[in-house]
Amino acid sequence: MNDILNCKQLEKVFNEGSIHTQVLKGIDLSVKKGEQIAIIGSSGSGKSTLLHILGGLDKPSHGQVLVNNIDIHALSETKRCQLRNKTLGFVYQLHHLLPEFSVFENVCMPLMLSKIPKTQVCERAEKVLNRVGLSHRLDHKLSEISGGERQRTAIARALVTNPLCVLADEPTGNLDNKTAESVYELMLELNQVYQTSFIIVTHDMQLAKRMDRILTLDNGLLSSEK
């Protein structure tokens, strides 16, 4: 089996006092190397929850997630972080960037945890920032740039490690058409050059239609659109 990511019968129940909400009811998903998947679904259907569990950021109530054939939720916190950092890139809805650091520092951050020499770290960060159109903002703090620029910083940070799979939650949500287009192109290029897989939660049907598969999350289950 050479799935980059695989899950079977994934369930998630949120328990708040006596209220139990079952958001995911048995998700099966297998993502091959280089595969591009769009996940669509109405607000509150559990898309972000699913993405968090696939990336090892939240635990499932039932079921397993295999990342590169390793059960990510069975690992210790340290090992899980290492696996995440080595294999996955995240673009979150709420960017999770560090506001007191510069654009450049934020993008270098995931590589600082690796053993890559500093000069190479800087080169890669500059290249990917150039690609998302942020070369002129390298030294700006996150608090000094616009929402769209922060989103592009988040995308650059997710891509800088050349991950096997990028998990993106509405990556082009706040972007104008031109910038969204350059983000698609960047993702497509990475897909072709490095065979990066993508799982993208989106409302943008233009983006979704460019993916290999569109899956809809509805009533806790995923179904295929095409």
Ligand X SMILES: Nc1ncnc2c1ncn2[C@@H]1O[C@H](COP(=O)(O)OP(=O)(O)O)[C@@H](O)[C@H]1O
Which residues make up the interface to ligand X (CB under 6 A)? 14, 16, 21, 23, 41, 43-49
Helix then strand count (H, E) for the chain reads 7, 10
Crossing angle of the two packed helices 103-112 and 147-159, in degrees rounded to 10: 20
Residue 48 interacting with Mg ion (CB under 5 A): yes
Judged by beta carbon, residue 104 or residue 171, the one nearer Mg ion is 171
Tokens of 21: 């909400």
Sequence-distant (6+) residues with CB within 8 A of 81 are none
Judged by beta carbon, residue 17 or residue 44, the one nearer Mg ion is 44
Q: In the bound complex, which residue of the shown chain has the CB atom lying closest to Mg ion?
A: 48
Cα–Cα dist 221/47, whole Å: 10
Judged by beta carbon, residue 4 or residue 201, the one nearer ligand X is 201
Q: How many residues of this chain bind Mg ion (CB under 5 A)?
A: 2
Shortest Å, Cβ 57 to Mg ion: 13
Task: Write b or e for each residue in 91-119: b if 16 or more Cβ atoms lie within 10 A of its Cβ, otherwise e.
Answer: bbbebebeeeebbbbbbbbbbeeeeeeee
Cα–Cα dist 224/87, whole Å: 26
Shortest Å, Cβ 54 to ligand X: 12
Residue 49 interacting with Mg ion (CB under 5 A): no
Shortest Å, Cβ 87 to ligand X: 22
Shortest Å, Cβ 96 to ligand X: 15
> Which partner in Mg ion, ligand X, none is near 44 (CB below 5 to 8 A by kind)?
ligand X
Residues near Mg ion, by CB under 5 A: 47-48
